[in-house]
Amino acid sequence: MTTLRTFQTEIDEIHNREVAKQRTLASTIPEKEGHDRRNASAAKGKARNDITSPSSAVSQSTRSGNAAPVSLIELEDRITNYVLMSSPADHAMGRDMIAELLTQNHGEYVFRIGAQPPHAALFTEELTDTTDGWLGTERTPEQITEIRRVLENLVDEVGGKVSLLYESLKGAHPRSNLLLRLPPPNVSLTPEVRCAVVGNVDSGKSTTLGVLTRGFLDDGRGKARVALFRHKHELETGRTSSVGMEILGFGPLGTPILPQTISKDENVTRHEKLGWEEISLQAAKIVSFIDLAGHERYLKTTLYGLTSGAPSCVILIVGANAGLIGMSKEHLAIALALGVPVVVCITKIDMTPAPKLEETLKQVTKILQSPGCRKTPVFVKNIETSVELATSFGPEKICPIFQISNVTGEGFDHLRTFLNLLPSSEHDVTKFAIDQPLEISIIETWSVPYVGTVVNGIVNSGTVKVGDAVLLGPDANGNYRVTAIKSMHRKRTIVTTAEAGQCVSLALKRVKRAEVRKGMVIVPRTDTPPRAVSRFEGQVLILYHNTTLQRNYQAMLHCGAVRQTVRMIEMDHPQGVLRTGDRAKVEFEFISHPEHVKEGMKLLFREGKTKGLGVITKIL
Q: Which of 334, 328, 291 is nearest to 309 (CA)?
A: 291
CA–CA–CA angle 611, 615, 617 (5° rounding)? 140
CA-closest candidate to residue 591, choices 545, 538, 555? 555
How many CA atoms within 13 Å lie on the side-chain side of 372?
Answer: 12
Say if CB 312 and CB 423 are below 8 A apart.
yes
CA–CA separation, 184 and 516 (whole Å) = 33
Please report, to the nearest 10 degrees, the dihedral formed by the alpha carbons of residues 577, 579, 583, 584 taken in order.
20
DSSP state of 218: P
Contact status, residue 526 vs residue 31, Cβ threshold 8 Å: yes
Helix (H) or strand (E) holding 299: helix 299-308
In the β-sheet with 175-181, what is the strand arrangement from edge to edge?
A: 108-113, 175-181, 161-168
Q: How confident is the model at residue 270, as a pLDDT? A: 53
pTM of this prediction? 0.87
CATH architecture of 187-427: 3-Layer(aba) Sandwich (3.40)
Greatest Cα pair distance in the chain: 78
Q: What pLDDT was estimated at residue 227?
A: 59
pLDDT at 69: 43
As assigned by CATH, the class of the 4-15+532-619 domain is mainly beta
CB atoms within 10 A of CB 184: 17
pLDDT of residue 482: 95
Is CATH 2.40.30.10 the classification given to domain 31-54+433-528? yes
List beta partners, residue 175. 168
d(CA 473, CA 450): 24
The confidence score (pLDDT) of residue 148 equals 93
Closest CA relative to residue 243, chosen from 280, 203, 200, 298: 298
Q: Give pLDDT, residue 258.
A: 87
**Cα–Cα–Cα angle for 533, 580, 310, nearest 5°?**
45
Distances (CA, A) of 114 to 66, 123, 133, 291: 17, 19, 14, 40
pLDDT for 294: 65
208 near 441, Cβ under 8 Å? no
Q: Look at residue 174 in the predicted model and tell me its pLDDT.
A: 93
- pLDDT for 276 equals 85
How many residues are recorded in the chain?
620
Q: Are 459 and 498 in contact (CB under 8 A)?
A: yes
Question: How much is the pLDDT for 109?
Answer: 93
- The candidate with the shortest Cα–Cα distance to 467, out of 444, 452, 488, is 488
pLDDT along the chain (620 residues), means of 10: 73 88 76 44 42 38 41 83 88 91 91 90 85 88 93 93 92 92 91 91 85 80 60 49 76 88 53 79 92 75 84 92 86 86 94 94 93 89 92 79 93 94 88 91 92 94 95 94 95 92 94 94 92 95 90 93 94 88 94 94 89 92
Residue spans of the domains in the chain: they are: 4-15+532-619, 31-54+433-528, 61-181, 187-427
Residue 37 Cα to chain centre, angstroms? 28
Cα separation, 59 vs 104, whole angstroms: 9
Please determine whether the domains at 4-15+532-619 and 187-427 fall in the same fold group of CATH.
no
- pLDDT value at position 250? 95
Sheet of strand 342-347: strand arrangement: 256-257, 244-250, 285-291, 192-199, 313-319, 342-347, 398-403, 376-379
Rounded distance, CA 514 to CA 495, Å? 26
Rounded distance between C-alpha atoms, residue 73 and residue 53, angstroms: 17
**Is the N-terminal amide bond of 594 cis, ω within 30° of 0?**
no
Residue 120's pLDDT is what? 85
> What is the full DSSP assignment across 43-106?
HHHHHHHS---S-TT---PPPBTTB--HHHHHHHHHHHHHHHS-SHHHHHHHHHHHHHHHHHTT
Phi, then psi, of 257 in degrees rounded to 5: -95, 105
